[in-house]
Amino acid sequence: MSRKAKIRTDVESTIGYQFTDKTLLERALTHISAASGGNRIASYQRLEFLGDHVLGLVVSDMLFRAFPKANEGELSRRLADLVRKDTCADIARAMDLGPAMLLGNSESQAGGRRRTTILADMCEALVGAVFVDGGYSAAAAVIEKFWHERLVKPAKPLRDAKTMLQEWAQARGLPTPTYRETGRSGPHHNPVFKVAVVLPGKPDAEGSGKSKRAAEQAAAATMLEREGVNPDKFEA
């Protein structure tokens, strides 16, 4: 067995699902930088789109059943925490998706295997691939395996990434970071915003989210991560 095949087999073993169509697994792990000619269709992006919605549905169902007395607002807050990019990236790390990624050379050398946004996207793409290959029950089983503990015992709230970045910048004599919208995708009623954080002397960092605020938080978190700042240990 080749090293590449072994890594894919290890992913299947970790998530507890064996793909009938192995090309779906490979596509879920293929970043656009590694897709032939930058072909978005050959990368994980379509599966990520599907997986994002499958994940939302399954986790919503899990929350509905687990918290019968919770109102809509509480369920929505719990859902947002469980499906946000940072959570999906943590799940991807638990799945050990980093070594299994197919990245272009430049993206790999830039640390793409550790990048929160890529890890989160591939996690969602993997959920989408399982759904296409095995249906709802298969996808739900994978999601329940990795999300159940977080659902019943939520992680402590993350510190505000924008505030952290501003404090980090000020402690180093840098100006206050600014944010600009760089793009918007998805349907009009459910857009995904892309935002870049700008800090003179540092390369811009991008983030995406269901709202501008969420995208700004994601961009700030990306810059902090790139600068080697651990949110749990950060001190201005």
Q: What is the DSSP string of 130-143?
A: HHHHH-HHHHHHHH
The span from the CA of 52 to the CA of 48, in Å, is 6
The span from the CA of 139 to the CA of 155, in Å, is 23
In the set 52, 107, 121, 225, the catalytic residue is: 52
Structure letter (DSSP) for residue 200: T
In the set 48, 107, 124, 225, the catalytic residue is: 124
Dihedral sign, Cα of residue 68, residue 70, residue 76, residue 79: negative
Amino acid at 154: P
Token representation of residue 52: 């994002």
CA neighbours within 13 Å on the CB side: how many for 109?
3
Give Cα separations from 121 to 49, 90, 115 (angstroms): 9, 11, 10
- Let me know: does 78 contact 154? Beta carbons within 8 Å: yes
For this structure, is 81 an active site residue?
Answer: no
For this structure, is 124 an active site residue?
Answer: yes
Token representation of residue 163: 């505030």
Cite the active site residues.
Answer: 52, 124
